[in-house]
Amino acid sequence: MEKAKKTTKKYSKSQWALLFMAGLGVVFLLVFNYAPMFGISLAFQSGDYVIDVRDAILNSEFVGFDNFKKFLTDPEFIDVVVNTLGLNVLSLVLTFPAPIIFALCINEVKNKRFKKVVQTVSYFPYFLSWIVFGGIVLSMLDSQTGIVNEIIVKLKLAAGPVNFGLSEYFWGLIIVTGLIKGVGWNSVIYLAAIAGIDASMYEAAEIDGANRWNKMWFITLPSILPTITVYLILAISGLLNSGFDQIWVFRNQMNLDRSEVIDTYVYKHGILKNQYSYTTAIGLLKSVIALILLTVSNAVSKKIAGRGIY
């Protein structure tokens, strides 16, 4: 009986390059996502007000769920959660459809040069940090020298200059600036999905007498629906993430009652007050809720639309 010959799978240079790139991604996940999970133990320890984090992890006393109870019974808990959910739900409703609509509109532009100019202009704000972009916005909204208030006064839209730093304008400011900064870049994935649609579908629709609106509504939108579903599920799972850098730029003493969200609360107590165990518990609680939201939204999507992330 002949011995079975051992076969070794040979990879080409391009395949080795792909394996190397995938390996780098795995290493990144291990180092920056899985290794830090060792610190989750702090959520169940009394490691607050300790200067050395390693000492807090290794030598702190086990206190069970005390840190979680402390957050849930904190007088600020209700305000922080209401601000976080209120701002993020409103932002999701108003800003999530914007990149989709923008991508559909851009796809209908036939002048290639104009199309490229519009895309470039819409992408540019995304590459500015929130410090730079926020500084520009704040200077434009300044009650004394800002161009926005000059326009408001000249058009007599208000009795005088508007102080956009007040709490009643904070949520609107966050939503509008987030929309301006992200709508162009977030539309890229939808434009890529539209580019993959079979052109013969549009040709068949034209033969049947469909106009541009009909093709957009009955071909383009249904074809990119799987992409929309994935991003919607991910957006729902991130409802407790407010974007610390954006919030911090526009936050001031006048709007603290509307700008105190979970991310700023964690920074205030964790970084400024060295309450590592307390804020680790908050972070873990956020992650658990995000996982629940992801699972539930995925299940609902699969039941209603027949598709989901997994």
pLDDT digits (tens, 9 = 90+) for 104-134: 999 988 888 999 999 999 999 999 999 999 9
Question: What is the per-residue pLDDT for 288?
Answer: 94
* C-alpha–C-alpha distance, residues 113 and 133, integer Å: 27
101: its two tokens: 């609509």
C-alpha dihedral sign at 214, 215, 218, 222: negative
Cβ(221)–Cβ(205) below 8 Å? no
185: its two tokens: 């870049």
Angle CA 239–178–142, to nearest 5: 130
Secondary structure of residue 216 in the 3-state scheme: helix
- Amino acid letter at 266? V
pLDDT digits (tens, 9 = 90+) for 21-62: 999 999 999 999 888 888 888 899 887 777 777 777 778 888
Cβ(219)–Cβ(135) below 8 Å? no
Question: What is the per-residue pLDDT for 14?
Answer: 75
Question: What is the per-residue pLDDT for 251?
Answer: 93
* C-alpha–C-alpha distance, residues 92 and 234, integer Å: 11
Question: What is the per-residue pLDDT for 29?
Answer: 93
Question: What is the per-residue pLDDT for 247?
Answer: 94
Question: What is the per-residue pLDDT for 1?
Answer: 44
Question: What is the per-residue pLDDT for 9?
Answer: 60
**CB-based burial of residue 277 (10 Å sphere; 0-12 exposed, 13-18 middle, 19+ buried)?**
buried
Angle CA 185–119–239, to nearest 5: 20
Domains, the chain, with CATH or none: 47-304 (1.10.3720.10)
pLDDT tens string, the chain, 310 residues long: the values are: 444 455 456 677 778 888 899 999 999 999 998 888 888 888 998 877 777 777 777 788 889 999 999 999 999 999 999 999 999 999 999 999 999 999 999 998 888 899 999 999 999 999 999 999 999 999 999 988 889 999 998 888 888 889 999 999 999 999 999 999 999 999 999 999 999 998 899 889 888 888 888 899 999 999 999 899 999 999 999 999 988 999 999 999 999 999 999 999 999 998 888 888 999 999 999 999 999 999 999 999 888 877 778 8
